[in-house]
Structure 1
């Protein structure tokens, strides 16, 4: 299997993943190749080639209904990216500079500390949850 970072390095594959996520969030249970082609304005052979790479990396799953194939996002492999990125992230990158500038210094420091603690707690809970037996 290809390295997950190599798989998502391609912009078209990231666009496909984003489109599948958007449709999933809209309540769709799967997206056809023709829907992806139409939404992204990319040729069908190109979309099929990228879907094959995403399928081999287990980032998408496919459901076959007759001659049609419906793709859905399988985000679990992206956890490796999340695990790798988390140590590099700080809350200051997420906060708007204007917002921080408008706060008194002590409030800005408190917001930054709470944000870092929340991100750290989320990361710890998520990793602990993954390690539970039967998960």
Structure 2
């Protein structure tokens, strides 16, 4: 499997992932290659090439119905990106100050920020997991 950072470094692949995310949020169970071509205005061979890379990296799954293929986002491999980014989002010096003096308003604000980010991340994980349940 290719390094996830190499995979998402390409702007066209990010556009495809964004489109699949938006369509998934709208309740679609999959998006056809022809729809991706139409929405992004790029050629079918280019879309197919990028979908193969996304499939190989397990960022998309494919469902076949006759001769049609429908692609869906599989966000689990992006957890590696999330894990890598989180330390950059939390200022360690502020974190240390917050634990040393928990009664200060600044530390409370920092704690609220950290909790808010964790809650947003947890919401995303739960929402993604719920969408994978049968019958959804």
* In 2: Cα distance, 1:22 partner to 1:119 partner: 21
Unpaired segments of 5 or more residues in structure 1? 92-105, 127-135
Q: Name 2:117's counterpart in structure 1.
A: 119
Using structure 1 for the length normalisation, give the TM-score: 0.74
Q: 1:31 to 1:110 in 2, by over 3 A?
A: same
Unpaired segments of 5 or more residues in structure 2? 92-103, 126-136
Across the aligned residues of Structure 1 and Structure 2, the Cα RMSD in angstroms comes to 2.4
Matched residues, number: 111
Q: Cα deviation per residue 1:47-97 (whole Å; 9 max; x = unaligned)?
A: 000000000000000000011000000000000000000000148xxxxxx
Q: Name 2:59's counterpart in structure 1.
A: 59
* In 1: Cα distance, 2:39 partner to 2:120 partner: 33
